[in-house]
Amino acid sequence: MQVRFESMRLEHIDQVVEIEKKSFPTPWPRQTFEFEVLYNELAEYAVAVDNGRVVAYGGMWLVLDEAHVTNVAVHPAYRGRHIGRALMLELIRRAKARGATRMTLEVRPSNTVARSLYKSLGFVEKGIRKKYYQDNKEDAIVMWLEQFPPDGC
């Protein structure tokens, strides 16, 4: 498996939506991804591609010196291969290149795999957004990465 990262383009969106639907109980619709790619100047989205197939994607909004991760997902058939970690490092690299000095995200308390990944990258749990998730009113843990890891981690 040889995964490479590309900026998300319109031709990736069908595969991104497929992963989104397999990963989240309230998936974003195709139109949201189209808007993000075409019109949102604050947005930065990347896809992980293996042999022409999108196997993961992630995105963020960059406002001043802050990157806010909007979503990260790996196709179920590709989980457990460290693609999520590589994707997060790619997002961090892109955030730094666009002038961000820190990063934030929300994650479900029940998503222990993602929480462990984020902690391994230096994210710290800083707060709770009560009843954040629409599908089951689960809280969201707000995590911050106050100092980016060195390149190549």
Architecture, CATH, for domain 3-145: 3-Layer(aba) Sandwich (3.40)
Mean pLDDT of 1-18: 96
Q: Give the residue numbers marked as catalytic.
A: 106, 118
Question: Mean pLDDT of all residues in the chain?
Answer: 94
* Mean pLDDT calculated for residue range 24-33: 95
Lowest model confidence (mean pLDDT) among 16-20, 83-87, 134-138: 134-138
> What pLDDT, on a 0 to 100 scale, did the predictor assign at position 153?
52
Tell me how crowded residue 31 is: count the other CB atoms within 10 A of its CB: 10
Contact (Cβ atoms closer than 8 angstroms) between residue 59 and residue 71: yes
Q: How far apart are CA 70 and CA 60, in angstroms?
A: 5
SS3 28: coil
pLDDT of 1 > 90? The answer is no
Domain edges within the chain = 3-145
Which tens digits make up the pLDDT trace of 57-115?
999 999 999 999 999 999 999 999 999 999 999 999 999 999 999 999 999 999 999 99
The pLDDT of residue 147 is 86
